[in-house]
Amino acid sequence: MMKRATRVQFDAPPARGVFASARAVTGRFVRTHAVLVVSAVAALATVPFVPPDAAYLGYFDLKTLACLFSILALVGALRNVGAFEAVARRAVARFSTCRSAVAALVAATLVVSMVATNDMALIMLLPLSAVTLLKAGWERVLPFAFIMQNLAANFGGMILPFGNPQNLYLFERFAIPPADFLATMALPFAVSVLLIAVCCAVFVKPLPARIPSVPVEADNASTPAVSAQSSHRRARAALYAALLALVIASVFRLVPYPVALVAVIAALALLDRLALRATDFGLLLTFACFFVFAGNMARIPAVEAVLSQAMQQSALLVSAGASQIISNVPAAVLLSHFATDYHALLVGVNIGGAGTLVASLASLITLNHFRIVRASFPGRPELARHTSRTFLAQFTLYNGVFLVILLVVCFAFSCGGA
């Protein structure tokens, strides 16, 4: 009996350890993929109201998913060869004051977001911004730079159908003519760029660097081996850029999207399998969950009655307001089922990316990277004074002001039929 009791005592801790390890892994997954988990729970919550049937297959916009996958994979491949970072680094290196450097970083983020989506623009350029400002001794302005880059990523992507994920979806769902898309988003885009430029000019002092800034990589390689490697990277970057142009052509319905998808998969399978494996499949699955959630919600009579009436009264306010609560991507997917006209919805979910932290999924990337940078440099007093709470307060203030100004402008000029 004593031996049996002793065995029980020795066997119990490993069992508890296994359960503790499983809980830790589960908790890590939930924290890392919080948006995916929430979207999956939301989709599952609608299933009891609308049991699975053949109509579920019609929820999924395959072209949106295929184009989004292709863009994410190619952006990852371009990032792996250093294309975006090299261009941005050279642009930043041409400016010697804090104001001009911040303006260059924000402008680079805005331009990259037009092609690479807002999420990828922040993932690529926030680290560059942190390194540049910390090396130059400008850490005091780093929170402001991150906030402006976040706004630039969200608003820069609004001007093109493939700049923001919600744009790609709405562009396909409503078969929006490209010229009409540009005309609809021109005024909100111009006002956003003007506001960002004014903020960078007014709230950043033209201070010189206290420490030499990040050096630019030499254009001329020092050895034949390095030169050959550099030429190889440039050739791959050119190919990826051509494939990206092919995907963009498929977005504009100039090329069948299956052709572009197959070309991207085949090229990356040969040249950069890491880019294929590292593609944000979580975002694609999140979109799939959004499709199920929105499709089911649209078939619930009570929800349909409320949202249909609200969208008829003010589609702009409803879409911008819904973005503050459930984020602009699911808001676009859900409200597209009740919109009789896409103009106000398109404008609303784009300017609705400003406001609360959850208004745009990209904002979570910005907050998380700020926390990482702050924790990585505990000896910088100027940076230590900015806690996550103060950063979030500053973030919400700027985003709230931008959202109010854009709503006022859109209503004043009847933008999107407001």
Give the tokens for residue 52.
């699975």
Provide, for the chain, the percentages of residues in helix, strand and coil under a 3-state DSSP scheme, each rounded to the nearest 5. Answer: 80, 0, 20
Q: Residue-wise over 86-118: b if at least 16 C-beta within 10 A, else e?
A: bebbebbbebebbbebbbbbbbbbbbbbbbbbb
pLDDT in tens, 26-38: 776 776 677 788 8
**What percent of the chain is modeled with pLDDT above 90?**
39
pLDDT of residue 16: 63
pLDDT in tens, 244-265: 889 888 888 889 999 999 999 9
CA distance 282 to 286: 6
95: region left, alpha or beta (phi > 0 left; psi from -120 to 50 alpha): beta
> Domain extents for the chain?
38-208+227-417
Amino acid at 389: R
Q: Which strand (E) or helix (H) includes residue 186?
A: helix 178-203
pLDDT band at 147 (very low <50, low <70, confident <90, very high): very high
pLDDT band at 363 (very low <50, low <70, confident <90, very high): confident
pLDDT in tens, 73-102: 887 888 788 876 676 667 666 777 899 999
**For 217, which DSSP code?**
P
**Would you say 135 and 178 are in contact if contact means Cβ atoms under 8 Å apart?**
no
pLDDT of residue 239: 93
pLDDT of residue 38: 82
Give the tokens for residue 117.
């989506």
